[in-house]
Chains A and B, each alone.
Chain A
Amino acid sequence: MESIGVLLTCPMNTYLEQELDKRFKLFRFWDYPSSTDFFKEHSNSIRAVVGNTTMGADAEMIEALPKMEIVSSFSVGLDKIDLARCKEKKIRVTNTPDVLTEDVADLAIGLILATLRRICASDRYVRSGSWKGGDFKLTTKFTGKSVGIIGLGRIGLAVAKRAEAFDCPISYYSRTERRGTNYKYYPSVVELASNCQILVVACALTPETRHIVNREVMDALGPKGVVINIGRGPHVDETELVSALVEGRLGGAGIDVFENEPNVPEELFALDNVVLLPHVGSGTVETRKAMADLVLGNLEAHFLNKPLLTPVV
């Protein structure tokens, strides 16, 4: 398989890159100053693309690579892949479900605790040498608070299971009600937000779910409410989020994803009731290796004409 051309869209994982280099003929997209020149010279050599949440395989790339047979995404999210076009051209698509579910759910709870209990703000406070004793601020208890989850897929269910251990009543919104859970279903996100204190975004990003957390939802959540985003930046209307937080109309936010990563609105930097993370949802040594192995396994299966491990299309 060393002659099979694989295009890696951006640096994402050293182990993955090394293994791809060993097993295939690897092209690193970022090594080429001009994408047009790259496509002109190498387009017929590329049979597979490995992408991630930063850069996947959009219409332009798909059209430029006529020999592409498979897109193997180093992510579970597929919002950076033109799935319709892939289907049309019979290009296979794989992602990395399940292996990252626990890490993302763990981070959601970590964000809730860090936001409600002001863990990061307290750490900053102590590090600045300001702790003199006798000073204190009361924070908000997590145990028993109502948690509303947007999207009850693998990650949403894992968040629910963890929140239940904190005695949190769980409610959710999804496109259709799910059988087999005791969680309360709300047919709209606004209704969900009106009936919970902590709103967790855990759904896929599609044209329908863009800005699913908008001003109306934030108003429903209110000055004691908290938004936790472990989905995709565009799930939340970021401009509205910033003004709601700055003006105190929303109680707090724990955010791992942003509309224009790696840029984060600087107005948020001064706020103690927000926690800001640089898209680390699946960012553990263990999980990234498992994701890389899944990408490699899917590519190998494809080129050996075996069934794909985690096909989407």
Chain B
Amino acid sequence: MVEDHLPQVLVLRPPKSFTFFETQFSKKFHFLKAWESQLPTTDFLATHAASVKAILCNSSTPITADILHHLPSLKLIVTTSVGLDHINLPECRGRSISVANAGQVFSEDCADLAVGLLIDVLRKISAADRFVRAGLWPISGDYPLGSKLGGKRVGIVGLGSIGLEVAKRLEAFGCIISYNSRREKANVSYRFYSNVCELGANSDALIICCALNDETHHMINKEVMKALGKEGVIVNIGRGAVIDEKELVQCLVEGEIGGAGLDVFENEPDLPKELFTLDNVVLSPHLAVFTSESFSDLFDLVTGNLEAFFSNKPLLSPLLDE
């Protein structure tokens, strides 16, 4: 069969982009589709995947030590996400398995959505659109005033490639940018705060752009939210668990913070129901990267990484050891 000559790539559960581009992908690679088998995953791997060198996954497929144990020939993990919190990285390092992620292909779209959510919360765009669609404008008259974006102090949590794109955009609106990161960045003119609580105390809005790991889990807690204050706005385009969601909901309900724009949640797609009743919250179903352009760029990157690997060339978007 033709596909026997194509390099083999294991897929446990199909990323959305895989479904989208399956035909094109299948011209270049032979995919072992674990989800189509009746066998439990580990049995499937034991039976079929002993010689598999590469795996394609997304952020909702955990690559655990157990799975890696069942893939003795594995040398490459390509994830369609930027986030790596679903991969057991120490185990990969120990086994000399390379990891390639989505690199920068999503940075602009993520930054665009962060800005869109911030403007929406401050200027009440979704809420006012609801008001108009409900036919309330002729009845209730002028819509309540929002808050000006220009001059607002914006604190970026995590100044990686996405955080930098957010900063660049918001500067054009006259926002004053500062940030918190593991380390202060050279060549950046924004004010650095080594402590996220201090960042919150000196900001009118926080934009969460950082990775989820042990240090950042529930990093945005009650203390940070209180420091941000009653007029403060939080935008999260990172991972739900960076914020203590239960605290966030309580702070929103009690008016301890001013509003939130959220693309990610701790337990997607289940959301705390209280959020649905709040007008100062904008809710987005984890789609910061879901544009046709990003998907097309992602397809090119994934294909490029796999082709590079199978021809012994350098990967396009390898994880840099940190």
Chain A residues proximal to chain B, CB less than 8 Å: 11, 102-103, 106-107, 109-111, 113-114, 117, 119-120, 122-127, 129, 131-133, 136-144, 161-162, 164-167, 261-264, 266, 269, 275-278, 280, 283-288
Contact = CB atoms under 8 A, between A and B. Distances in A.
Interface string B279-306: 0001111010011111100000000000
Please give me the 8 A-B residue pairs with the lowest Cβ-Cβ distance, nearest first. Answer: A113-B116, A165-B172, A110-B119, A262-B137, A141-B293, A126-B283, A143-B108, A133-B269
Contacts of A103: 148-150
A277 B128 contact: yes
Contact of A285 (B116, B131, B145): B145
B284 A123 contact: yes
B168 interface: yes
Interface of B: 16, 108-109, 111-113, 115-117, 119-120, 122-126, 128-133, 135, 137-138, 141-143, 145-150, 168-169, 171-174, 268-269, 271, 276, 282-285, 287, 290-295
B291 A102 contact: no
Contacts of B141: 11, 262
B143 to A, nearest CB: 5
A283 B145 contact: yes
Q: Is the interface of B mostly helix, strand, loop or mixed?
A: helix
A13 to B, nearest CB: 9
Contacts of A288: 145
A285 B147 contact: yes
Nearest to A262: B137
B133 A283 contact: no
A11 B141 CA distance: 10
Given A117-B113, A119-B126, A124-B130, A133 B268 contact: yes
Contact of A123 (B132, B137, B283, B291): B283
A284 to B, nearest CB: 4
Contacts of B147: 284-286
Given A117-B116, A129-B276, A284-B122, 19 more contacts: A102-B148, A102-B149, A109-B119, A119-B116, A119-B117, A120-B126, A120-B129, A122-B283, A122-B287, A124-B130, A125-B285, A131-B268, A139-B287, A141-B292, A166-B169, A262-B137, A275-B125, A278-B132, A283-B123
Nearest to B295: A138
B136 to A, nearest CB: 8
Contacts of A165: 168-169, 171-173
B107 to A, nearest CB: 9
Contacts of B282: 119, 123
A227 B181 CA distance: 39
14 contacts: A106-B123, A113-B112, A114-B120, A126-B284, A140-B293, A141-B291, A141-B294, A143-B108, A266-B135, A276-B132, A277-B128, A280-B124, A284-B123, A286-B147
